[in-house]
Every structure is written in structure tokens, then in C-alpha cells.
Amino acid sequence: MSTVPRIGRPSLSAALSTFVAFALKASLWLWVVFNLAMLVWIFLNSVKSSRDIFAHPLGLPTTWHWDNFWTALTTSGLGVAALNTVVLVAVSVAVIMALSVPAAYALARLGGRSAGPITSLFSAGMSVPFQAFAVPMVLISVGLSRFMVEWITGAWDPRITVAIFYVALSLPFSVFVLVGYFRSLPSELEEAGALDGAGSFRTFLSIMVPLAKSGITTVTVLNVLGLWNETMIVLLLVPNQGMQTLNVALLNFYSDMQYTSDWGGLFAGIVIVVAPMVILYFWVGRRVVSGMTEGIGK
């Protein structure tokens, strides 16, 4: 072991470095404590009376107002909004995956001149901000609704338009990450499948999809997270309050606060929006996070 340190003088800089390291570690733990405290604080506020929230901001509720959740779900319309959100997210994510998984597999395996440019075409979409679509989206939504009402079905639901754009705008990211996944899988298995006489579609369904399960789970969960928290598309396309999603309902709830002052109910609403995603994260979170960082890094 060499006794002459090659880099830096030990005494002063070592002491400084120890101090910096200690300070950084302490700050990281402080950050962790703050995050957990915020979750607990939001939860406690959701079961307090509005007076308690202001009089005892840090204490336990004097009486536990579980009825805040009931008020939020019924009177403030978060129940309907929750149903809208669940259906919208479930349908959109199902379609996104049904489109992007086969496409990503094809792009990963399609040799030659076409695959590269098409993959780039998809990933270029990731750098187009949502705002480039705001105006066309509003016009297409109005036009589509008129067209369907006057010519085809006689009725139209703006939530369908929202789902259509959810799918379209989620494709670039989903395809990009999944292509990376499929590329990392060995191709020997498909060759074996082909020798056994399985067609490319059979090979894809029965061999590649199970192999790419962790990547597919990651992308599914990330899409669920993203669309669950989406607000602007619904704000722009859905004027009818009964058809809006949780985040927009929460904003409406907040706008009514000057008349209702139901702060306990507002925090109950926040818990209703946040809790499903926190549960999802603690259920599949770690796997998803590692899958995501792998996928992005590629």
C-alpha cells in the first residue's frame, strides 16, 4: 500500500471532505423525513375539521372526520371523477400497450433501411411538447364531435376524444423504451421458434412478450402514472364537470373553496388523487424505477 497519497493533501481537505459528507448525508435524511412528513400531514389534514387544520396545524385531529372523504366523493363530485379517471386510464393504457408492444418488437427486429428512421420518427415525438397539440386538439375535438353527432352516431362523448389523444401522445415514449427492451433480448429464441414452425406472430406472442414482461410492466405503470396525473387535455377538451377526471375535479373543488371553506374535504380529495399512485409505487415501484432507468439509459 502506497503511503504517499497521490491526490490532494490529507489533513485539511480530508477534514473538510468528512464535514461535507456528513452535511450531505444529514440533508438527504432531512429530505426523506420531509417527504414522509408531508404524506402524514396531508393524510392528517384529510381527517380534520377545517377549524382544526388552522388551529392545530401539526397536531392530531381533535375529532377524526372520516366523513370528509364522503363529502369529497359525493357533494364535490370526486366519486364520479374517480370513476372517469379509472376507466379513461385503463382503456387508454390498454390501447397504448396493444399498439406499442408489437410495434417496438417489429422495430427492434426489422433489419435494414426502414427500422432506423421509423424508430427516430417515434423518439423525435418525445421532444415535441404537449403544447404543440393544444390548438389542433381543441379543433379536432369540436370537429369530430360535430361530425359524429350530425352524420354517424347522433351522439359523442368528449372523453373518447381524450382517450384518443392520450394514446397518440403516449406512443413516442412507450415505443422508445420498449424498442430498447426488445433489442436487449437475445434473438436465438426466436430462431428456435422459427425452426419449430411458429410464424412471426406466434413467436412474438408466445416467446417474446413473456420475455419482455418486466419492460412491459415498467412502461404500463409509467403510462398509468402519467395519465392519472394528466390535467391539461381534460381541461381543454371536456367542458362538462360530470365527465372530468380527478385532477380537474380537485381544481374545481379548490376554486369553490372561497364559498365552501371545506379545507378538510380538499385534503381528503388530495388523498383520493394521491393514495392510489403511492400504493401502486410501493407495490411495484422499485422494479419499475430500475426498469425505467435501464430503459432511458439505453
Among 107, 162, 207, 212, binds other proteins (CB under 8 A): 107
The residue among 298, 66, 88, 38 whose CA lies nearest residue 182 is: 298
Residue 151 found at the interface with other proteins (CB under 8 A): no
Residue 213 found at the interface with other proteins (CB under 8 A): no
Residue 148 found at the interface with other proteins (CB under 8 A): no
Number of residues in contact with other proteins under rule CB under 8 A: 103
Q: CB count, 10 Å around CB of 179?
A: 26
Residue 120 found at the interface with other proteins (CB under 8 A): no
For other proteins, the binding residues in 260-279 under the rule CB under 8 A are 263, 266, 270, 273-274, 277-278
- Cell 412507450 belongs to 174
Q: Are 262 and 69 in contact (CB under 8 A)?
A: no
Q: Are 232 and 214 in contact (CB under 8 A)?
A: no
Q: How many residues does the chain have?
A: 298
Residue 91 found at the interface with other proteins (CB under 8 A): no
Residue 247 found at the interface with other proteins (CB under 8 A): yes
- Considering the complex, state which of residue 17 and residue 75 has its C-beta at the smaller distance from other proteins: 17
Q: CB count, 10 Å around CB of 152?
A: 9
Q: Report in angstroms how near the CB of residue 207 gets to other proteins at its nearest.
A: 14
Residue 252 found at the interface with other proteins (CB under 8 A): yes
Q: Are 163 and 96 in contact (CB under 8 A)?
A: no
| 62 backbone φψ class: left, alpha, beta (φ>0; ψ -120 to 50) | alpha
- Considering the complex, state which of residue 138 and residue 185 has its C-beta at the smaller distance from other proteins: 138
- Considering the complex, state which of residue 129 and residue 154 has its C-beta at the smaller distance from other proteins: 129
Is the Cα torsion angle 289, 290, 292, 293 positive or negative in sign?
Answer: positive
What does the alpha-carbon distance between residue 44 and residue 61 come to, in Å, rounded to a whole number? 7
Among 56, 235, 260, 284, binds other proteins (CB under 8 A): 235
Residue 185 found at the interface with other proteins (CB under 8 A): no
Q: Report in angstroms how near the CB of residue 64 gets to other proteins at its nearest.
A: 20
Residue 228 found at the interface with other proteins (CB under 8 A): yes
Q: CB count, 10 Å around CB of 151?
A: 8
For other proteins, the binding residues in 17-76 under the rule CB under 8 A are 17-18, 20-21, 24-25, 27-29, 31-32, 35-36, 38-39, 42, 54, 57-58
Among 148, 251, 260, 284, binds other proteins (CB under 8 A): 251
User: DSSP class of residue 76?
Assistant: T
Among 56, 71, 86, 118, binds other proteins (CB under 8 A): 118
Residue 90 found at the interface with other proteins (CB under 8 A): no
Reading the block at residue 17, the C-alpha cell is: 471532505
- Cell 422499485 belongs to 286
Q: Report in angstroms how near the CB of residue 130 gets to other proteins at its nearest.
A: 6
For other proteins, the binding residues in 1-20 under the rule CB under 8 A are 1-2, 5-8, 10, 13-14, 16-18, 20
Helical residues (DSSP H) of the chain, grouped into ranges: 10-46, 50-55, 67-73, 78-109, 115-124, 134-147, 158-184, 188-195, 200-203, 209-211, 213-228, 232-237, 246-255, 257-260, 263-297
Q: Are 101 and 216 in contact (CB under 8 A)?
A: yes
Residue 167 found at the interface with other proteins (CB under 8 A): yes
